[in-house]
Structure 1
Amino acid sequence: MKLKTFGVEQWMNDYETTATYNLGETCVSPLSLQDLLALTHTDEAAFTNKLLTTRLTYGDIVGAPDLLENITHLYQHLSSNQVVTTHGAIGANSLALTTLVEPGDEVVVVTPTYQQLQSIPESIGATVKLLALTPENDYLPDIDQLTSLVSDKTKLIVLNNPDNPSGSLMPREHLQHIVNVAQSVDAYILCDEVYRHLTQTDDYSPSIIDLYDKGISTSSMSKVFSLAGLRLGWIASHDDAFMNTLFSHRDYNTISCGVINEMIAEVALANKEIILKRNRAIVRHNLQLLSDWVDQQPHISWLKPQAGTTALLQYDFDIPSETFCDQLFKATGVLLVPGAEFDVEHALRIGYAFEDAELQNGLNQLSAFMQTL
């Protein structure tokens, strides 16, 4: 199986560890275990004793029961037997795609998005049709274009909501239109929802599985819950046929997730409202900082994100985005991700959900760099 080089991950691999200002970071300010226990008012001594005395054997095969139950509370109507844990959202996406997609299938995928969602179906031998998200349409899928792309051969429609890199958010009505299109050709919908809940308002953000029995949701502890180091994600769906096949495929690449990882995730999800309050406050405060900065930049334009932790910044300099980001990094230590890694030129992906001082200092360095161009 031949896979394309994973552009965004390779870029982060090459630059992230030596960055002075990591404006490529996409997780909300990460928590230490001590931070998590204090934030959730968990008895540190009792938890530490449980941690130290837990035998490091295989965990529950499909996920710890309490953890699965807590995951169901992130959705409107979900049973614990309709969710399974995975090695991060990246593992969830990979497992879902390799379970569903076969050579010759047609798959419709939004673009720009996380490259994995396009490249894995391509590597399997599917015909991948790209549904372009544009600023003119608020980076939302065009329903008429989607309708023209599907056929009776369409196995799967792949979405990312909120979208990485644009930060667009599909409201319930828009998702319902997409569901209607999928139903017309009896297609599944896989929605990478790893940024779901990181909204600019307190309204409930619907999942695809709230609206569609053949919907599949993937997510993780990384972005929303500030625990990327756990490498713990999940797949959720109401479709029994898909889930039964998924469990069989999972035996080949997962067996179980780590017992300690799931133990920590249980604490976080049992106290999800506390963490969501913290993290929404961070993304809302920092997005305002970023918005104020953009307003002062004559060479930068954008569509302000509605959710998530990332934004696409368009610039008007006559320089390719990889060259721009490489020169910026060498001159200032500021890490941004080139739009080219998402097949969008003259654009930069910025993350804004970490410490506000680092964001502001990085933006100041970016301003100074652009004055030299």
Structure 2
Amino acid sequence: MAPPPPFRVEQWMDEFETTAKYNLAETCCASISVDELVSFSENEKAKVSDVLDSSLVQTYGEIRGSSALRDNLSRLYSSKAGSPLPPERILITPGAIAANHLAFYALLGPGDHVICHYPTYQQLYTVPASLGAEVDLWKSKEDNEWLPDYDELAAMVKDNTKMIILNNPQNPTGAILPKSLMVDTVNLAKEKGITLLSDEVYRPLFHGITPLNKDFPPSILSLGYANTIATGSMSKAYSLAGIRTGWIASRNQDIIEKCQVARDYTTISVSQLDQSVASFALSPDTIHSLLGRNIQLAKTNLELVDRFVIKHDEFCSYVKPVAGTTAFIKFERDGKPIHAETFCKAVHEKTGVMLLPGDVGFGEEFKGYVRMGYVNRTEIVREGLEELRKFMRKEYDDLPVCD
């Protein structure tokens, strides 16, 4: 196993996040406290002690994850599926980043071929490569609403293709893989015996498409193929990044067992306190209000971003996101992409607005692109965009462009 290359998104966040006045690189819905979480419960008698039991003895707890949390996740994955997902098919992990890493570590190795939906979170293609797998990128196309081409995927499959990795909704574009494309992808994987892993960490946050739309994407676990894996967490759509709670779910018990065997070497268990908070958030009394708050926040703030892009359409353009928390905006001047890293550093220094340069976070081919997170608190997004507007008027023309 070779060390993976530097994780540039996380290094950028680490360098600038704590000093940003207006964090427009944040990918989580505006984070909440435990007190705020309790206020979302439809049970008027709910109190903090229902979330955090101070009398609970802090042992390792249930090794694979608390029954209460896995029951709530089972209910969520089963609600739109043809058959229930048993709680035993779910493993709790320290965030989705650990879930993804664990699945790759358990299932991939030298000689395997992997296809990864792209652009996406760097972990999803660099970790498989570090394990010795050959990785090809299934590229989304901006001129087609950030959709990738199914025929290209089919042509990429080899005899040794072990896994296809999806990110749905997609980071950084906010695009979705529509149901029809998912069905075709599942059928291809089933025919070839390929495991499908879908990072669904942004999945519950649909704000530009409804379940009534024929393109609305179900979870990968709802399409009738056993060799599928969904990973998720409490960080993005549920505003609870600080509790570091994620999961692996699969309809194939053998996949879960392989992940558990590998998990013994990395995670004895996840904090009982963290799981208690997660279980409360995903309970029937709480989840609808919490998710409703975040979907409305996304809708409100995305309109602010949309007005900014329209106002500056001589310099920037994007495909408006339909899900998730991020937009991928291209900045140009005189027909050439702006030097995004210089742009983002200058904006941070002069205004306190934090953005993420696309070529730093997602690859050299994304020169001029900037990922913007827009589901922070509305006042932060509004004030940050105003500061960015001032910067565009005074400083933008002096920034370097790429050749």
Please give the TM-score of this superposition, normalised by the length of structure 2: 0.90
Residue 350 of structure 1 is matched in structure 2 by: 372
Residue 171 of structure 2 is matched in structure 1 by: 164
Residue 261 of structure 1 is matched in structure 2 by: 274
Residue 348 of structure 2 is matched in structure 1 by: 329
Specify which of 98, 103, 106 is matched with residue 105 of structure 2. Answer: 98
- Give a deviation string over 1:179-228, Cα, whole Å, max 9, x none: 12212321111100000010024427411111121110000011111110
Specify which of 213, 216, 219 is matched with residue 207 of structure 1. Answer: 219
Residue 401 of structure 2 is matched in structure 1 by: none
Residue 151 of structure 1 is matched in structure 2 by: 158
Residue 238 of structure 1 is matched in structure 2 by: 251
Partners of 1:52 and 1:327 in 2: CA distance: 47
Classify the secondary structure of the residue corresponding to 2:327: strand
Equivalent AA in structure 2 for residue 342 of structure 1? F
- Give a deviation string over 1:15-38, Cα, whole Å, max 9, x none: 000001100001111110000112
The alignment status of 1:301 with 2:317, answered yes or no, reads yes
Q: Please list every run of 5 or more consecutive structure 1 residues that lacks an aligned counterpart in the other structure.
A: none
Equivalent AA in structure 2 for residue 352 of structure 1? Y
How far is the alpha carbon of 1:290 from its aligned partner?
Answer: 1.2
Partners of 2:149 and 2:69 in 1: CA distance: 37
The alignment status of 1:273 with 2:274, answered yes or no, reads no
How far is the alpha carbon of 1:47 from its aligned partner?
Answer: 2.4
Classify the secondary structure of the residue corresponding to 1:17: helix
- Give a deviation string over 1:257-283, Cα, whole Å, max 9, x none: 000001111110002112111111111
Specify which of 91, 108, 119 is matched with residue 84 of structure 1. Answer: 91
Residue 18 of structure 1 is matched in structure 2 by: 19
**After the TM superposition, which of the residue ranges 217-226 and 128-137 deviates more from structure 2?**
128-137
Partners of 2:148 and 2:265 in 1: CA distance: 34
Partners of 2:104 and 2:120 in 1: CA distance: 15
Residue 53 of structure 1 is matched in structure 2 by: 55
Map residues 66-85 of structure 1 onto 2, 5 A cutoff: 66-75=68-77, 76=81, 77-85=84-92
Partners of 2:96 and 2:311 in 1: CA distance: 36
Residue 39 of structure 2 is matched in structure 1 by: 38
Partners of 1:156 and 1:205 in 2: CA distance: 20
Q: Please list every run of 5 or more consecutive structure 2 residues that lacks an aligned counterpart in the other structure.
A: 398-403
- Give a deviation string over 1:312-342, Cα, whole Å, max 9, x none: 0001135321111111111111100000111
Equivalent pair of 1:214/1:238 in contact (CA under 8 Å): yes
Equivalent pair of 2:117/2:139 in contact (CA under 8 Å): yes
**After the TM superposition, which of the residue ranges 203-212 and 171-180 deviates more from structure 2?**
203-212
Partners of 1:356 and 1:279 in 2: CA distance: 11
Equivalent AA in structure 1 for residue 376 of structure 2? F
Partners of 1:179 and 1:205 in 2: CA distance: 13
Partners of 1:295 and 1:320 in 2: CA distance: 21
How far is the alpha carbon of 1:74 from its aligned partner?
Answer: 2.0
Classify the secondary structure of the residue corresponding to 2:282: helix
Equivalent AA in structure 2 for residue 44 of structure 1? K
How far is the alpha carbon of 1:370 from its aligned partner?
Answer: 2.0
Equivalent pair of 2:220/2:228 in contact (CA under 8 Å): yes
Partners of 2:274 and 2:231 in 1: CA distance: 18
Equivalent AA in structure 1 for residue 340 of structure 2? S
Classify the secondary structure of the residue corresponding to 2:375: coil
Partners of 2:49 and 2:371 in 1: CA distance: 42
Please give the TM-score of this superposition, normalised by the length of structure 1: 0.97
What is the root-mean-square deviation of aligned Cα atoms in Å?
A: 1.3
Specify which of 337, 359, 365 is matched with residue 381 of structure 2. Answer: 359
Structure 1 ranges of 4+ moved more than 6 A? none
Equivalent pair of 1:151/1:185 in contact (CA under 8 Å): no
Map residues 124-139 of structure 1 onto 2, 5 A cutoff: 124-139=131-146
**After the TM superposition, which of the residue ranges 70-79 and 57-66 deviates more from structure 2?**
70-79
Equivalent AA in structure 2 for residue 70 of structure 1? N
- Give a deviation string over 1:77-112, Cα, whole Å, max 9, x none: 311011110000000000011111111110001111
Equivalent pair of 1:197/1:205 in contact (CA under 8 Å): no
Identity %, equivalent residues: 40
How far is the alpha carbon of 1:45 from its aligned partner?
Answer: 5.8
How far is the alpha carbon of 1:46 from its aligned partner?
Answer: 4.0
Number of corresponding residues = 372
